[in-house]
């Protein structure tokens, strides 16, 4: 319990310092309360889906006034206490900086939120967010640390987000997530309708031409 309290305290201090950047931080008197529940109410239909930016107007979004950057987003991600908080974090990052990485982690957070609490909103929005990765950021990459390799700083390698999306759609169980589909072949069907093909043996996903946009 002390460790969790300490983590939350550090996060609040970090958020306050970010909010205070470029302004008189003495004017900030209240810390930011981050959600830990598993219910999701969407402020607008496309919340968290590029190019919609309504997340910045959502009063339930604790990060809407936070200066999230491509550097501090990882610290905020680590410190976030729930998948719901991470959804708001990554959706805010996406609204400010539209990248495939930010869109993918919106989808991942929604997927985790559905896995944690079976939120039907999170389930449907996760599918839409994964599709947005493919439709809008098909060639985007994320970078993972190669902790088994020597070197300082730790070497990193690029991972295609389209392939991670295919894996998460087809079979997310290795990542400890609940499937978004009752049958993995339903995921392949959705991908085909969207215009993509996923090879479950080799793991790459390819663009075959959309049947439905």
- Confirm if 80 and 86 have CB atoms less than 8 A apart: yes
Q: State how far Cα 70 lies from the chain centre.
A: 13
Residue of 118, 15, 100, 115 whose CA lies nearest to 49: 100
Reading the block at residue 111, the tokens are 């997927």
3-state SS, residue 144: strand
Residue of 66, 90, 67 whose CA lies nearest to 78: 90
DSSP calls for 162-191: HHHHHHHHH--GGGT---SSSSHHHHHHHH
Query: pLDDT by residue for the chain (213 residues), tens digit each?
Result: 434 434 444 455 455 454 544 333 222 224 789 999 999 999 999 999 999 999 999 999 999 999 999 999 999 999 999 999 999 999 999 999 999 999 999 999 999 999 999 999 999 999 999 999 999 999 999 998 887 778 888 778 899 999 999 999 999 999 999 999 999 999 999 999 999 999 988 888 999 875 554
- What is the pTM for the complete model shown? 0.84
Q: Give the span between the Cα atoms of 140 and 75, in whole angstroms.
A: 22
């Amino acid at each position: 319990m002390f460790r969790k309290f300490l983590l939350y305290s550090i996060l609040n201090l970090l958020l306050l310092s970010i909010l205070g950047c470029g302004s008189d931080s003495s004017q900030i008197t209240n810390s930011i309360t981050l959600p830990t529940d598993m219910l999701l109410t969407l402020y607008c239909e496309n919340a968290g889906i590029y190019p919609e930016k309504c997340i910045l107007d959502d009063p339930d979004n604790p990060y809407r006034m936070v200066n999230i950057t491509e550097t501090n987003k990882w610290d905020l991600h680590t410190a976030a206490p729930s998948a719901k908080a991470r959804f708001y974090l990554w959706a805010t990052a996406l609204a400010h900086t539209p990248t495939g990485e930010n869109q993918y982690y919106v989808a991942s957070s929604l997927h985790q939120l559905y896995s944690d609490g079976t939120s039907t909103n999170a389930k449907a929005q996760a599918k839409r967010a994964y599709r947005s990765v493919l439709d809008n950021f098909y060639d985007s990459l994320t970078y993972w640390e190669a902790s088994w390799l020597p070197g300082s700083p730790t070497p990193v390698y690029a991972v295609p987000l389209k392939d991670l999306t295919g894996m998460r759609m087809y079979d997310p169980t290795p990542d400890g997530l609940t499937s978004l589909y009752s049958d993995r072949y339903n995921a392949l069907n959705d991908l085909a309708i969207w215009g993509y093909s996923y090879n479950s043996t080799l793991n790459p996903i390819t663009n075959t031409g959309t049947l439905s946009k």
